[in-house]
Amino acid sequence: MPSALHKIANPTATSVLTIDLGALRTNYRALRDRSKSAECAAVIKANAYGIDAEHAVRALSKEDCKTFFVATLAEALTVRESAPDAAIYVLDGFFAGSGPEFAEARIRPVLSSLAEVKDWAAFCKDQRNSLPAAIQLDTGMNRLGLPVSEVEILINSPDILKSFTPVLLMSHLACGDEQENPMNEKQLKAFEGMRAKFPPCPASLANSAGIFLGERYHFDLTRPGFALYGGRAVNGQPALDPIVQLHARITQIHEAPAGEAVGYGAERILTRQTRIATLSLGYADGIFRCLGARDGKPGLNGFIEGHSAPVLGRISMDLITLDVTDLPPGLAERGSWVEILGEHASVDDLAIQAGTIGYEVLTSLGHRAQRIYIDSDTGTA
């Protein structure tokens, strides 16, 4: 990829984020196959986990994906422009007074409390239009969803349910990435019990990790997110195809003698004559400060043509310094490209090193990098 970047990157670009929409489509097909008879939707909240929702929707629509989940109404309106006929659900709250915006764009709220259900029912009744919505049930995560007590009130208030069209009952797994965790079975049974109280309606429980728990968790609709984007959905199992690569350009090469300090705080003291490469990348681009290195603590590694180059000192807002002393001559030069994410380091690898999760790595990648969209299925850019 670095040699190819010299051909396709803008000469002014200091970093490049390459996004493989072909791999996204491949991952969707794999998850759809695992979903068996259930419909496979796509979660594209947070701007499709940082890769750009419009590109993601267009790619997934080519695979006949017809249902999308987002976090906010603003995200839903963006998706609607690229998917005029899709079913689009908003996960993170329906507020009184927002009904007209949902209705006009044919967006479906996910109703997660009795108050939200009542507000949506009142809006539909006022419009004399039984509009669709999902109802989320709290099966033990205690984040969003109707608890059993509110379900009982709702079931005993049939006029509320008759005012709109429930098209999906759903809940969310808290520990699906840990396949042996007893919480999964506990939530499954709770969901089955709560679902049985409602009139017949399609159901959804499985997120990315839930798909790998088997058909008992699939119900009528699965909702993969992170796995779509090449993240490891289940602990101990390999991820699907990676879809992002991040490369940064070397801005400067210089040498410093043993005993010199590198970076803010002078936390890294050189123990030898060192050749230092400075990259135009930093925490403003989503490379966490905790990935810096100080004396006695290693940090991030960059890669040039497969050769590792460890970070020296702190990661700054816009700059990272690497030790390229041991690289073969001619590899690390001003203008050379350094892999931060790609063949040698996945989003999950970076997350483990940073003490976080791959979700945060993906959604933190900044927008200063030139974005290049490719399709490995067709060999096009």
Active-site residue list: 45, 264
SS (H, E, C) the chain: CHHHHHHHCCCCCCEEEEEEHHHHHHHHHHHHHHCCCCEECEECHHHHHCCCHHHHHHHHHCCCCCEEEECCHHHHHHHHHHCCCCEEEECCCCCCCCHHHHHHCCCEEEECCHHHHHHHHHHHHHHCCCCEEEEEECCCCCCCCECHHHHHHHHCCHHHHHCCEEEEEECCCCCCCCCCCHHHHHHHHHHHHHHCCCCCCCEECCCHHHHCCCHHHCCCEECCCHHHHCCCCCCCCCCCCCCEEEEEEEEEEEEECCCCEECHHHCEECCCCEEEEEECCCHHHCCCHHHCEECCECCCEEEECCEEEEECECCCCCCEEEECCCCCCCCCCCCCEEEEECCCCCHHHHHHHHCCCHHHHHHHCCCCCEEEEEECCCCEC
